[in-house]
Amino acid sequence: MDTRELADLAIDIAREAGELARRRRGEGVAIAATKSALADIVTEADREVELLIRDRIATARPDDGFLGEESGAERGASGLTWVVDPIDGTVNYAYGIPHYAVSIAVVEGEPDPQAWDALVGVVYSPAVDELFQARAGEGAWLAAHRLQVLEPTDAGALLATGFGYDPATHAGDLARLGRIMPVARDIRRAGAASLDLAYVAAGRLDGYVERGLQPWDHAAGALLVREAGGEVTGMPGERPGRTMTIAASPALHSRLAERVFHES
């Protein structure tokens, strides 16, 4: 399949959606509801931006499926599904922290992270106007710059991580952080999984470990990391998912996985 047209459409939609998100942020953001926990919020802008994305896709590619954070799933007839997080980093966005992204992936096959083949991934950061993109087999790019994951220096790895919205999960997350800290020079918790993955692909981070991600959080960013020469997995032998996401160069990935999954 020629993924160039899909990528061009995803990039165009991501830029339009990102501009809407940025404009709404400037106008002031209203919390629309809470979801899985009190800290798990959705803003009116999340819903409006996802509606824009969904409408653009339905117009251009009516037979494709859709899987979005705010409006759920709709199967298509084409075998392709668009996996969308309209504003990843919602809490940053609500607080006015300029670190959030529109994440759009196009996948082929079952709309299940353990089964799909990612064809296109686009992560757009409107606050700094940076668009990360990848097509399967064609590398990962930031503008005209081809991306490559880093191998950490003897100083240790710069690692990103995150903590779930449910306070009951924090003790386990902190214990895991303690197990990976000996590999790290330092930790970053920036609050947007898609940008954490994009930054691993771009060599701005050495690695990323987080439990509890949704498919739309990692669908695009995981393709960026793989196309930049990195490895992205979940539980041993599985792809990234709710249970775990580990992204890094192959050598660092195995060191991180060893510590993430061995409680001792």
Cβ-based nearer residue to ligand LIP, 61 or 199: 199
Instruction: State the chain's maximal CA–CA distance in angstroms.
Output: 53
CB of 192 within 8 A of CB of 210?
no
> Do the annotations mark residue 87 as ligand-binding?
yes
Which residues are at the interface with ligand LIP (CB under 6 A)?
69, 85, 88-90, 162, 164-165, 191-193, 210, 217
Q: Minimum CB separation from ligand LIP for residue 169, in Å?
A: 10
Q: Minimum CB separation from ligand LIP for residue 256, in Å?
A: 16
Cβ-based nearer residue to ligand LIP, 108 or 213: 213
> Do the annotations mark residue 154 as ligand-binding?
no
Cβ-based nearer residue to ligand LIP, 108 or 180: 180
CB of 18 within 8 A of CB of 127?
no
Cβ-based nearer residue to ligand LIP, 24 or 61: 24
Q: Minimum CB separation from ligand LIP for residue 227, in Å?
A: 20
Separation CA 63–CA 45 (nearest Å): 26
> Do the annotations mark residue 227 as ligand-binding?
no
> Do the annotations mark residue 13 as ligand-binding?
no
> Do the annotations mark residue 8 as ligand-binding?
no
Separation CA 61–CA 237 (nearest Å): 34
State the residue number with the nearest CB to ligand LIP.
162
Paired sense of beta strands 65-68 and 80-88, if any = parallel
Separation CA 145–CA 127 (nearest Å): 19
SS3 8: helix
**Strand ranges for 126-244 from DSSP E:** 130-135, 140-142, 145-146, 157-161, 184-188, 207-210, 231-233
Cβ-based nearer residue to ligand LIP, 89 or 152: 89
Paired sense of beta strands 157-161 and 184-188, if any = parallel
Q: Minimum CB separation from ligand LIP for residue 69, in Å?
A: 6
Segments in 62-120 forming alpha helices (H) = 90-95
Q: Minimum CB separation from ligand LIP for residue 62, in Å?
A: 26
Which residues contribute to the annotated binding site? 69, 85, 87-88, 217
Residues making up the annotated binding site for Mg(2+) are 69, 85, 87-88, 217
